[in-house]
A = this chain, B = another copy of it.
Amino acid sequence: MYLRAFSLLKTEEQPTISSRQLALRLHLNPPQIRKDLSYFGAFGTRGIGYPVAATAERLRGILKLDVPQKAALVGAGRLGNAIASYPGFATFGFEIAAIFDNADSKIGQTVGKIVVEDTARIGTIRNRGIHLAILAVPAEAAQAVADKLVAAGAKGILNLSPCYLEVPRRVKVVTIDIAMELGTLPYYM
**B81 and A179 form a contact (CB under 8 A):** no
Across the interface, do A86 and B155 meet the contact criterion of CB distance under 8 Å? no
Indicate with 1 or 0, residue by residue over A53-72, a CB within 8 angstroms of chain B CB atoms: 00000000011110001010
A71 to B25, CA, bound (A): 27
CB of A38 to closest CB in B, whole Å: 18
Among the listed stretches A12-20, A89-97, A102-110, A115-123, which one makes contact with chain B, having 4 or more residues with CB under 8 Å of it?
A89-97
Is A178 a contact of B83 with CB atoms below 8 Å? yes
A182 at the interface (CB under 8 A from B): yes
Task: Specify which of A26, A79, A86, A92 lies most central, judged by the most chain B CB atoms within 10 Å of its CB.
Answer: A92
The answer to whether A172 touches B185, judged by C-beta atoms less than 8 angstroms apart, is yes
CB of B189 within 8 A of CB of A172, answer yes
Chain B residues contacting A88 (CB-CB under 8 Å) are 139, 162, 177-179
Judging by beta carbons under 8 Å apart, are A177 and B69 in contact? no
1/0 per residue A151-189: CB within 8 Å of B? Answer: 000011110101110000000101011111111111111
* A-to-B contact residues, CB < 8 Å: 1, 3-4, 8, 25-27, 62-65, 69, 71, 77-79, 81-83, 85-86, 88-89, 91-92, 94, 131-132, 134, 139, 155-158, 160, 162-164, 172, 174, 176-189
